[in-house]
Amino acid sequence: MNELKYAVVCVDDDPYILQMLGFQLGKIINQKLTLLEYFTDPDKALEGIDELMAEKIDVIFVMVDYQMPKMTGAQLIRSLKLKYPTLNCVMLSGQANQVSVEELRSDNLLASFISKPWDEEVLFAAISPIIQAHL
Amino acid sequence: MNNNNFNEIVNLLNNTTECIHLLERDGTISWVNAAWKKTLGLTDKECLGMSIQDYLSDESKLKFAEIFPRLNNGESIGNITCVFLSSNNESIYLEGTSTPVMEEGIVVGSCAFFQNVTAQRKVLGELRQMTNLQDILMRIATHYINVPINDLNQIVYNSLGDIASFASADRAYIFRYDFKNKLCKNTYEWCDEGIDSQINNLQSIALSDMPYWLSKHKLGECVEIDDVELLEGQGIKSRLKLEGIKSLITLPLMDGGNVLGFVGFDLIRNRRTFSNDEKNVLKLFAQMLVNVHNRLLNALQIEKTKEELEQMNESLERQVSEKTKRNISLSKNIIEQEKMATIGEISAGIAHDLNTPLSTIKVGADNIKSIIETLFTKQITLLSANELTRILERIQTSQIEMYVGGLQLRREKTEMFQYLSENYQVESAELEKIADLLVKSRVNKEDSFFIQYILELKNRIQNLEVLYQLQMAYSQLATIKNSSDKAVKVVQDVRAFIKGETQQEKHTFNLKSNIATVLGIFNYELKKEVDLQFNVDESIELYGFEVKLFQVWSNLVKNALESMEDQEQRYLGISAEKTDTTLTVVFENNGPQIPSDVLDNMFKKFYTTKGRKSGSGLGLSIVKNITDEHDAALNVASDNERTKFIITFKT
């Protein structure tokens, strides 16, 4: 119970998406070692990630939606990357601003981009290399 | 009587101013006195032995022909007036008496004593002519003033008659020159009684047949023919003779320097020359005709212009009414189009609002498929029917939680492990797995009865696995249902919003759900950091055009969002307040203060402050339009903190 080493964080203002995403991620993530955490509020997500980092838990990746209240996924990723430059950020979005996404890409801030609605295989193909690289 | 006496008498007669002639019975002149000869410009040699008829005018000849038989019968005749023609062809008016000359009781001739009254006659005649002339010109002039155009032809015809009478002419006419076709044409004709009309024969006379006339007329000069017989050149002479014309005069109709035609007078019964005075009158008349002609042209032009103007007016009126009709239908279209434009502007948001639930549905379907596969390939076959029934009952009665964070799960798991190890004698590794599955299946310590049931089962791990999978499947089905509802709502809102004007009738509807429909289609835009305060009481009903009001709310929302675009804190408040007589709806935002000149114009069509950025400039004019249709007052108040749109309906 205390061998918790890793975490995966999902941020989306739609709880249904988090539910679906969680189920799928649960299939390829070793939940004995890895904490799956969800946030509907980007501010809470920032706090939560800070806590995980403080507890020396290795955050494998953060998966964020683009369009959210208060803050876009791009803004969230930029804030995270400022603090944690090596953090892997994946965007999962159906309505992303192309310009912002391109800027993230060109600034090397984006590990992967998955558009909604997504296929499980596409999701796994995008995140498997990130997980592999961590373990 | 002796010779001396005779000579004395002759002397006496020669010295008198009276004109005296002695005629034989047949009118042969046997003697004339000196006054007679002087008056008529003749000598004895020229006149003695000639007939008196040779020196009389045609009219007087007839008169003498009547007088002679009476004289020959011995009758004395007084008060004779006759016209002699002098050697230079002037008319000499003589007045006097004629008496028979008797010899032995037989009439052998006649003797006449005449006074020359030519001068008096002339004065009288001139006086009469002057009076006539004035009369005629006055009459013609007054006739020509302000006659209706339709009557002009008759007036011209009548005046031709008047002038012809004045000129003692038998026929009067007007010809028009047609230089284009090198012709001239008789356009008006007046004929005295017993005179044949010629107008039908004179409709197309080649100008080449009348070069002399044309050249004179072009110079503005008259053509006078005192005696057709004396004309040289057979062409025109034979034509005039054919018409029985003895004399004529034609005067050009001059308009400025141009000759339009001529007016002419024929003498058929008698030959005659025209005095200068007469010619002056005729010239005046000709000028009058030109004026009339010009007036006619002007009048026709005015009439034509008037008709054209009327036609233009009619056509303009028609065009205006067509345009108005089109504008009315256009403005209907514009309102419709503005609505569609709104949908277009927020289509990205609508797509997002549809995409999110559709993503969930799609992923959920995938997930459920994988759950079913897992259930059948792994555990479900190991469970008895009773066990499955129990699991299903548990799932159907449990609350479904959307998602639980990993940290919370871990905490709950620790607590569950603690609880289980205190109450059940199970090996630690298995107990840990049981705790994990129980927590993931959202079973908590309070469900001790169910926990006990599970733990008493032989294949409890399999049961828990099936429970967990089915729990997942059920929660995902619930999510799919919720997401479908969300997608349906988006579509419903959009459909309600773009619904055509099928509901023309006003009816009563709920204000909150009416506004909520619009907020629904703006869901995506409103999610972007807008503090939305939607405080409308659910009980408020409104009587009006439900679909049209969507456009009021949507434009107010759109307007608010656009005005707050560049600021970090965005506030949109929507509230409603009902009194006994009014219903006030307020849309309030914290966008920048609206300048007063913009406030003055903002409800006008095509007024926009957004430049090329966005907006048709119709939004607020449509709001105004629709609130007017509801007889509602629309007011704006803007200060540096808030901008309020206040709509007050009468209830």
Q: Which pLDDT score is estimated for B504?
A: 64
CA-nearest residue to B473 within chain A is A23
CATH domain B3-116 topology: Beta-Lactamase (3.30.450)
* Nearest residue on chain A to B479, alpha-carbon basis: A16
Residue B363 near chain A (CB below 8 Å): yes
Q: Assign residue B184 a region (left: φ > 0; alpha: ψ between -120 and 50; beta: otherwise).
A: beta
Which residue(s) pair with B138 in the sheet?
A: none
Provide the pLDDT for residue B145.
Answer: 65
Would you state the pLDDT for residue A1? 47
CATH of domain A6-134: 3.40.50.2300
Within an 8 Å CB–CB cutoff, is residue B469 touching chain A? no
The answer to whether residue B364 neighbours chain A at the CB level (below 8 Å) is yes
At residue B189, the pLDDT reads 92
Taking the C-alpha atoms of residue B37 and residue B86, their distance in angstroms, rounded to an integer, is: 9
B201 Cβ contact partners less than 8 Å away, ≥ 6 residues apart: none
Q: Does A124 touch chain B (CB under 8 A)?
A: no
Return the amino acid letter for B489: K
Say what the ipTM of the complex is: 0.80
Shortest distance between the Cα of B432 and any Cα of chain A, in A, equals: 9
Strands B183-191 and B171-178: antiparallel
Q: Average pLDDT for residues B514-542, to the nearest whole number?
A: 87
pLDDT band at B144 (very low <50, low <70, confident <90, very high): low
- Note the pLDDT tens digit of each residue in B63-75: 888 888 888 888 8
Cβ contact (<8 Å) for A20 and B476?
Answer: yes
Give span(s): CATH 3.30.450.40, chain B. 124-301
Instruction: Flag whether residue A116 sits within 8 Å of chain B, measured between CB atoms.
Output: yes
- Chain B residues whose CB is inside 8 A of the A13 CB are 527
A36 at interface of B, judged by CB pairs closer than 8 A: yes
pLDDT at residue B613, as a whole number: 47
Instruction: List, by residue range, all CATH 3.30.450.20 domains of chain B.
Output: 3-116
CA distance A120 to chain B (A): 7
List phi, psi (to 5°) of A92. Answer: -125, 105
Give, in order, the Cα–Cα distances in Å from B446 to each of B430, B439, B443: 21, 12, 8
Question: Which amino acid is present at B303?
Answer: E
| B468 in A contact zone (CB under 8 Å) | no
A67 to chain B, closest Cα gap in Å: 8
- Distance from B496 to chain A by nearest Cα, in Å? 24
Residue B370 forms contact with A (CB below 8 Å)? yes
Tell me the shortest Cα–Cα distance from A18 to chain B, in angstroms: 7
Tell me how far apart the alpha carbons of residues B220 and B261 are, in angstroms, rounded to a whole number.
10
Is A67 in the B-facing interface, judged by CB distances under 8 Å? yes
Among A17-21, A62-66, B87-91, B121-125, which is the least confidently predicted range?
B121-125
Residues of B in contact with A28 (CB under 8 A): none
Residue extents of the structural domains in chain A: 6-134
pLDDT at residue B590 is higher than 50? yes
The reply to whether A18 touches chain B by the CB within 8 Å rule is yes
Instruction: State mean pLDDT over A66-74.
Output: 85
Query: Least CA distance to A122: which residue of chain B?
Result: B363
Contact yes or no for A35 and B357 at CB 8 A: no
In this prediction, residues B88-100 reach a mean pLDDT of 88
By Cβ distance, the residue of B363, B406, B529 closest to A69 is B529
Q: How far apart are CA B471 and CA B368, in angstroms?
A: 11
**Residue in chain A nearest B480 by alpha carbon:** A16
CATH of B124-301, one of 3.40.50.720, 3.30.450.40, 1.10.10.10, 3.40.50.2000: 3.30.450.40
Nearest partner of A25 among A51, A53, A63, A58, judged by Cα: A63
| Interval B625-638 mean pLDDT | 88
From chain A, pick out residues whose CB is under 8 angstroms from the CB of B413.
1
Q: What residue of A is the nearest CA neighbor of B472?
A: A23
Beta pairing class for B171-178 and B91-103: unpaired
Binding-face residues of B in 562-621 toward A, CB within 8 A = none
- CA of A108, closest CA in chain B: separation in Å? 26
Strand arrangement, sheet containing A6-11 = A34-39, A6-11, A58-64, A89-93, A112-115
Are residues A23 and B367, on separate chains, in Cβ contact within 8 Å? yes
pLDDT above 90 as % of chain B: 17
A58-64 and A89-93 beta bridge pairing: parallel
Secondary structure element (H or E) that encloses residue B532, with its range: strand B530-535
Q: Span B220-246, mean pLDDT?
A: 83
Q: Does B403 touch chain A (CB under 8 A)?
A: yes
CB atoms within 10 A of CB B31: 16
Contacts 24+ apart (CB under 8 A), B589-592: B589/B560, B589/B563, B589/B564, B589/B642, B589/B643, B590/B564, B590/B641, B590/B642, B590/B643, B591/B560, B591/B563, B591/B564, B591/B567, B591/B643, B592/B563, B592/B567, B592/B640
Name A47's Cβ contacts closer than 8 Å, sequence gap at least 6.
none
- Min distance B500 CA to chain A CA atoms (Å): 29
Inform me whether the C-beta atom of residue B348 falls under 8 Å from chain A C-beta atoms.
yes
Q: How confident is the model at residue A64 (pLDDT cuts 50, 70, 90)?
A: very high
Judge: A19–B479 Cβ closer than 8 Å, yes or no: yes
Residues B7-57: pLDDT tens digits?
888 888 888 888 999 999 888 999 999 889 988 888 888 888 889 888 888
Instruction: Kindly tell me if the per-residue pLDDT of B237 is higher than 70.
Output: yes
pLDDT digits (tens, 9 = 90+) for B307-344: 888 888 888 888 887 777 776 665 667 777 777 777 77
A77 vs B529, residue with greater confidence: A77
Instruction: Count Cβ–Cβ pairs < 8 Å, chain A vs chain B.
Output: 98
Interface probe, candidates B346, B366, B440, B472, chain A, greatest A C-beta count within 10 A: B366
Give the pLDDT score at B612: 40
> Residue A35 and residue B414: Cβ atoms within 8 Å?
no
- Residue A95 and residue B355: Cβ atoms within 8 Å? yes
Dump pLDDT digits (tens) for A82-101: 999 999 999 998 777 788 88
Q: Tokens at residue B44, please?
A: 């004895």
Residue B357 near chain A (CB below 8 Å): yes
From the list B355, B403, B475, which residue is nearest A116 (CB)?
Answer: B355
The dihedrals phi and psi of B191, each to the nearest 5 degrees, come to -125, 140
Three-state secondary structure call for residue B319: helix
Q: How far is A52 from chain B (nearest CA, A)?
A: 10
- Could you report the per-residue pLDDT of B260-299, keeping only the tens digit for each? 899 999 998 888 888 887 788 788 888 888 887 777 778 7
Residues B499-650, CATH architecture: 2-Layer Sandwich (3.30)
Quick one: pLDDT band at residue B503, thresholds 50, 70, 90? Answer: low
pLDDT digits (tens, 9 = 90+) for B364-393: 898 899 889 888 886 677 788 888 899 899
The band of A7, judged by pLDDT with boundaries at 50, 70 and 90, is very high
The secondary structure element, H or E, covering residue B102 is strand B91-103
Judged by a CB distance cut-off of 8 A, whether residue A98 touches chain B is: no
Q: Which of B347, B353, B359, B468 to mutate to probe the A interface, most A CBs <10 Å? A: B359
Instruction: Quick: pLDDT tens for A43-60.
Output: 999 999 999 999 899 999
Instruction: Flag whether residue A41 sits within 8 Å of chain B, measured between CB atoms.
Output: no
